Amino acid sequence: MGKEILPVRFAVLDKVLNLARANSLWPMTFGLACCAIEMMATAMSRFDLDRFGAAVYRATPRQADLMIVTGTVTKKIAPVFTTLYDQMPSPKWVIAMGNCAISGGPFAFEGQYSIIEGVDLLVPVDVYVPGCPPRPEALLEGFLKLEEKITKTRRFPGPEKRW
Amino acid sequence: MVEEVKSGISQLLRERRPVEEPYGEKGYHLSVDMAPKDLIDVGRFFKEKGFYLACALCVDFRDYLELVYFFAHHEGHCRVKVTSRLDPQAPYAPSLSSVFGSALWYEREIHEFFGVRFEGHPNMAYLFLHGGIDFYPLRKEKVMVSEEDRALLNSFRPEEGEDTFFINLGPQHPSTHGVLRVVLKMDGEYIERAEPVMGYLHRMHEKMAENRTYLQFLPNTGRMDYLGAMAFNLGYVTAVERLCGIKAPPRAQYVRVIATELNRISSHLLWLGAYLADLGAMTPFLYVFDDREQILDILEGITGSRLTYCYFRFGGLFNDVDEDFITGVRRFIARMRGRFQIYDDLVTKNVIFINRTRNVGVITRETARQYGVSGPVLRGAGIAMDMRKKEPYAAYGEFDFSIPTGSYGDAHDIYLVRFKEMEESLNIIEQALNGLPEGPIMAEKVPKKLKPPKGDLYHVVETPRGELGIYIVSDESDIPYRMKWRVPSFANLMVFPELVRGCLLADAIAILGSLDLVIPEIDR
Amino acid sequence: MRSINEFSPVLLFIVVAVIFTIVPIFIAYLIAPRTKGRKTLETYECGIEPFGSAWIRYSITYYIYALIFIAFDVDVLYLFPVAVSYTHGDRWWEFVALIVFVSLLALAIIYAWGKGVFRWERKYFP
């Protein structure tokens, strides 16, 4: 991503950095609608998100590296949304949580004038978590998929490997 | 009360007389049709009698536009519908904002959705819609925005003052409970003026209602207020049942009450956790979610969803409750009574909490009447109005519960009211469980395609946030002609600019939290 | 008169502190990826562009806080020589002198507290 100062990259350094980044993803609070409540439930004691290093929610984009888009993105909030995405320092990732963020959800009907059908029309999305709203376990699986994307290895067994 | 209002209006307008309507079918007692020029006199009459403006909306019948106002009374039992016809080519009407403060935002909303111009309105800027829109969305044909309105599209720019600066309590904020933006004009640390900007989550529910059948619209109701989804579901289902004349069997009514009260407890618990997190206390947030998970487990067993429920159907329920549910609820009630003691020790007697919420955001009765405030905010101010007792629906009339009220109207009183409401909800659930009748859960003759008779209906229920009003106009097809949702958070937010004038910024957060807003229901 | 060698730990301390701060910045400068969007360097104000000027005259209550801070800053300046020459209890009257000095300065704070400098009452705008 972008230009770097050193003309060479060290594989071991990259591996260590990616491991560090994946295990301490700091989300930014961008709760728009109903999915935000399920995101909060994921961070609480039952479906603990803190064991993956990720419950340090920052309100400011300057200190965050993950944006979980929970809820419908309307045309009115789209400029605010892209501004916040720009203000995050790289490397940054985006999880689109819920049907509204993936493709407009139940609000995409013919004659609609106010929502943006899918947040990937605005920013590049790394992981899609479907559901309306997705269960907290689904969001945790989305997190682990994001870690897998960053580090190319998967730490915990996935559901298909268990049974 | 109905009689004196009827005679008072007949004296006021000599040519038009109010018509008495059957309350059981329509939801209002009187309806008056008048010319637009008489609106302000009638508004003043209602203000003298102590009424409040519950809702103002517009319906587009293709030959004319009809402005509809609902006036209701806090203590007495009288609801009056006032209508006025406008020419669709030149829709002008006088503004009621000089009489009722709540008309300010209702008229802005009608203006941007229908194109009606209100004369005498101080600030006709757009409220909900985004800047690029160029037609009036809720009109039946596509009517482009007129030239004078085009200038208002992006016109929100408050005037600057000397020695003040602007700060945005913006859409992305951990304490605004959703995407609400408040533009604050600050004088140092004090707030001189606050102006909420809404519409960041406008999801076109009312337009969708005109494109979906009654059953297809049912999931939308859960998304409007996701914390109190059962109450919105219940309101919609009972409204349509009332319109069609379907009666749900008693077992269904009891289960509806149990589910709605469980949802009320979970909504108040989340409010408690989020409010205290705003004030800086992290611990209650974690305790609250633990209790909420117990409720969500119980409700997931019967409904299948955790947050946005769609459990009720026209005529009853779709799934019966079983023994697991009943034992689960009994266990939950016993556990919750013990947990209230923890919350009492942790929060209610906490010195920091009392200092932050005593004398903060005091709502007087006059303010409440002026803006149509409802729910725990109104009960904290001392007016005991609860729609479950005032206009009972769905078996609430058979239970014995009290309405907690505060005396002073500050944030601490509102907190105590919500706390006691949770305890009352537990009482209601216990009574309902003890008296749960056997029988069917679905009424017998419910048609597959619901075609309500021609007419309109204004149905009111009590959500955890206050008085929800659903106005349905039906034209005998299976798609509603117009559906308007009068949401409690919209009216509650109207008091915020007045309460916060002259406060410190930290107090503004405390006041905003005590109003318990859920933004998707404001933006609809 | 002490020799200058006794201050060599202080010099080492200063050097280590400077290295501790500069080296992470340098490492981050080398390996961090650099991207810039259109709005990356804008002021953060919850996603909205800030409008209105922030160079205004502030209210007098902030001035009182600044005044109290300056007074106690000078107080700390006076306490530095005391810290160097304190004998840890060999001469008991040093402790008493120190307590008297600090409490006289604290009296100023108590006076301000009683006058209501820390209570910011609600303003009533017309």
> Domain check: are B210 and B92 in the same one?
no
Contact with chain B for residue A60, Cβ under 8 A? no
Q: Which residues of chain C have pLDDT under 50?
A: none
Residue C44 and residue A61: Cβ atoms within 8 Å? yes
Residue A97 falls inside a structural domain: yes
> For residue B10, what pLDDT band results from cuts at 50, 70 and 90?
confident
Residue A104 falls inside a structural domain: yes
> Domain check: are B313 and B400 in the same one?
yes
Residue C33 and residue A2: Cβ atoms within 8 Å? yes
Residues of B in contact with C124 (CB under 8 A): 502
Residue A163 falls inside a structural domain: no
Residue A31 and residue B178: Cβ atoms within 8 Å? yes
Contact with chain B for residue A27, Cβ under 8 A? no
DSSP one-letter string for C93-126: HHHHHHHHHHHHHHHHHHHHHHHTTT--PPP---
Provide the number of structural domains found in chain C.
1
Tell me which residue in B130, B201, B219 faces A32 most closely, judged by beta carbons: B201
The predicted-structure confidence for B304-353, as pLDDT tens digits, reads as follows: 888 888 899 898 888 888 888 999 999 999 999 999 998 888 888 889 99
Residue of B nearest to C53 (CA): B165
Residue C61 and residue B188: Cβ atoms within 8 Å? yes
Residue B168 and residue C45: Cβ atoms within 8 Å? yes
> For residue A7, what pLDDT band results from cuts at 50, 70 and 90?
low
Contact with chain B for residue A34, Cβ under 8 A? yes
How much is the pLDDT for B220? 87
How much is the pLDDT for A55? 78
Residue B313 DSSP label = E
> For residue A1, what pLDDT band results from cuts at 50, 70 and 90?
very low
**Average pLDDT of span A41-62:** 87
Provide the number of structural domains found in chain B.
2
B290 or C64: which carries more pLDDT confidence? B290
Tell me which residue in C34, C38, C44 faces A3 most closely, judged by beta carbons: C34
How much is the pLDDT for B414? 92
Provide the number of structural domains found in chain A.
1
How far does the CA of residue C38 sit from the closest CA of chain B (Å)? 19
Q: Which helix (H) or strand (E) holds A97?
A: strand A93-97
> Domain check: are B131 and B212 in the same one?
no
How much is the pLDDT for B428? 92
Residue C114 CB neighbour total at 10 angstroms: 9
The predicted-structure confidence for A120-150, as pLDDT tens digits, reads as follows: 899 999 999 999 889 999 999 999 999 999 9
Do residues B108 and B493 make contact, with C-beta atoms less than 8 angstroms apart? no
Decide the pairing of beta strands B190-197 and B181-187: antiparallel
Instruction: Select the residue from B168, B182, B198, B356 to test the C interface by mutation, using most C Cβ atoms within 10 A.
Output: B168
CA dist B217 and B210 (Å) reads: 9
Map B330-373 to HEC letters: HHHHHHHHHHHHHHHHHHHCCHHHHHHHCCCCCCCHHHHHHHCC
Residue A8 falls inside a structural domain: no
Looking at this predicted complex, what is its ipTM?
A: 0.88
Residue of B nearest to A37 (CA): B307
CA dist A13 and A20 (Å) reads: 10
CA dist B196 and B266 (Å) reads: 27
| Listed residue (A37, A34, A39) closest to A66, CA to CA | A39
What is the rounded average pLDDT for all residues in chain A? 86
Residues of A in contact with C42 (CB under 8 A): 83, 86-87
B145 or B33: which carries more pLDDT confidence? B33
Which segment, A3-7, A151-155, C117-121, is predicted with the most confidence on average? A151-155
Checking if the pLDDT of A3 tops 70, the result is: no
Last residue of a domain, one of B150, B167, B195: B150
- What residues of chain B, 248 to 287, have a C-beta less than 8 Å from chain A? 270, 285-286
The predicted-structure confidence for B234-276, as pLDDT tens digits, reads as follows: 999 999 998 888 888 999 999 999 999 999 999 999 999 999 9
**Average pLDDT of span B437-455:** 85
Residue C20 falls inside a structural domain: yes
The b/e string for B229-265 (b: 16+ C-beta within 10 A; e otherwise) is: bbbbbbbbbbbbbbbbebebbbbbbbbbbbbbbbbbb
B26 or A148: which carries more pLDDT confidence? A148
Residue B334 falls inside a structural domain: yes
- What residues of chain A, 64 to 103, have a C-beta less than 8 Å from chain B? 71-72, 74-77, 80, 84
Residue C122 falls inside a structural domain: no
CA dist B94 and C101 (Å) reads: 72
How much is the pLDDT for B156? 61
CATH number at residue A115: 3.40.50.12280
Size of interface A-B (CB pairs under 8 A): 102
Checking if the pLDDT of B372 tops 70, the result is: yes
Residues of B in contact with A29 (CB under 8 A): 172, 174
The predicted-structure confidence for A25-40, as pLDDT tens digits, reads as follows: 999 878 888 888 999 8
How much is the pLDDT for B454? 87
Q: B346 lies in which domain range?
A: 205-523
Last residue of a domain, one of B116, B150, B184: B150
pTM for the full predicted model: 0.89
Residue B271 falls inside a structural domain: yes
Checking if the pLDDT of B368 tops 90, the result is: no
Checking if the pLDDT of B471 tops 60, the result is: yes
CATH number at residue B410: 1.10.645.10
The predicted-structure confidence for B180-194, as pLDDT tens digits, reads as follows: 888 888 887 888 888
DSSP one-letter string for B217-282: THHHHHHHSSTTHHHHHHHHHHHHHHHHT----HHHHHHHHHHHHHHHHHHHHHHHHHHHHHHT--
**Average pLDDT of span B426-431:** 92
CATH number at residue C24: 1.20.58.1610
Residue C123 falls inside a structural domain: no
How much is the pLDDT for B261? 93
> Domain check: are B106 and B234 in the same one?
no
CA atoms within 13 A on the CB side of B108: 21
Residue C55 falls inside a structural domain: yes
How much is the pLDDT for B155? 55
How much is the pLDDT for A53? 85
Last residue of a domain, one of B120, B150, B180: B150
Q: A111 lies in which domain range?
A: 27-154
CA dist B390 and B388 (Å) reads: 6
CA dist B19 and B5 (Å) reads: 11
CA dist C25 and C27 (Å) reads: 6
Residue B191 falls inside a structural domain: no
Residue C120 falls inside a structural domain: no
Q: Bridge partners of A28?
A: A58, A67
Helix, strand and coil in chain A, % to nearest 5: 40, 10, 45
Cβ-based neighbours of B504, under 8 Å, separated by 6 or more: B189, B190, B191, C120, C122
Residue B168 falls inside a structural domain: no
**Average pLDDT of span A55-78:** 88
How much is the pLDDT for C14? 92
CA atoms within 13 A on the CB side of B246: 25
The predicted-structure confidence for B29-71, as pLDDT tens digits, reads as follows: 888 888 888 888 888 888 888 888 999 999 988 888 899 999 9
Residue A16 falls inside a structural domain: no
Do residues B41 and B98 make contact, with C-beta atoms less than 8 angstroms apart? no
How much is the pLDDT for C114? 87
Residue A5 and residue C44: Cβ atoms within 8 Å? no
Q: C76 lies in which domain range?
A: 4-115
CATH number at residue B21: 3.30.460.80
Checking if the pLDDT of B147 tops 80, the result is: no
> Domain check: are B138 and B216 in the same one?
no
